[in-house]
Amino acid sequence: MVFTLMLLINACKSVVSYPSIPSINYTGYTLERTLTDSTIRDSIVLVKISFTFVDGDGDLFSPDTSFRSLFVNIYKNEMDSFVRVPDSTLSAKPSFHLPYDQVMDRTGQNKTQKGKMEFNFPFLIPVPYDSVKLEFYITDLSGNKSNSVITPIVKLR
């Protein structure tokens, strides 16, 4: 009887739903300097950025690795002010494929996808900037763009 009562109480809880537009929250970063060989020419500074995400309709991930869904803007420090680095000065707009896992495929009534993720943003040494801020956002398969978040100052040198 107690079990049945608990089952009924839990069944009456309202279903939490999230919007179809994804949202993200910055959670932190770590910095790594790596040497790929003994020369500084092949070295990088790697910024590992962590964030959480929620997508209410579950269309965030794609098995197609050509689908880019995480985009980054770089802000460089110029005389104690951060200025966006124009995309035209970069070889390509920094973008990434969110890792696909079939476990993230959602069917049924609750298609919400949420979790934690990190991505690695490399800077070749010699690093062109003393410090940067990285702004990033994600898009889902329907083209919905999440909110943008900006990291605190990342000291590269």
Task: CATH number of the domain at 36, please.
Answer: 2.60.40
Residue 119 in any domain: the answer is yes
Which residues, in sequence order, are CB contacts of 79 under 8 Å at separation 6+?
none
- Classify 58 in phi/psi space as left (phi over 0), alpha (psi -120 to 50) or beta: left
Residue 11 in any domain: the answer is no
Q: Would you say the pTM of this structure is higher than 0.85?
A: no
Residue 13 in any domain: the answer is no
Residue 7 in any domain: the answer is no
> Bridge-partner residues for 33, per DSSP?
45
8 SS3 class: helix
Residue 61 in any domain: the answer is yes
What is the DSSP track for 81-142?
EEEEPPGGGSSS--EEPPPP-GGG---SS---EEEEEEEEEEEESSPS-SEEEEEEEEB-TT
Residue owning tokens 């763009």: 145
Residue 80 in any domain: the answer is yes
Residue 3 in any domain: the answer is no
What's the pLDDT score for residue 30? 95
pLDDT tens, per residue, the chain with 157 residues: 555 545 555 555 556 678 889 999 999 999 987 766 565 556 788 999 999 999 988 888 888 889 999 999 999 998 889 999 998 888 788 999 988 775 566 655 678 888 899 999 988 877 888 899 999 999 999 999 999 999 999 998 8
Q: Which two tokens stand for residue 86?
A: 């124009």
Split into its structural domains, the chain has a count of 1
Domain ranges, residue 31: 18-155
DSSP structural state of residue 12? T
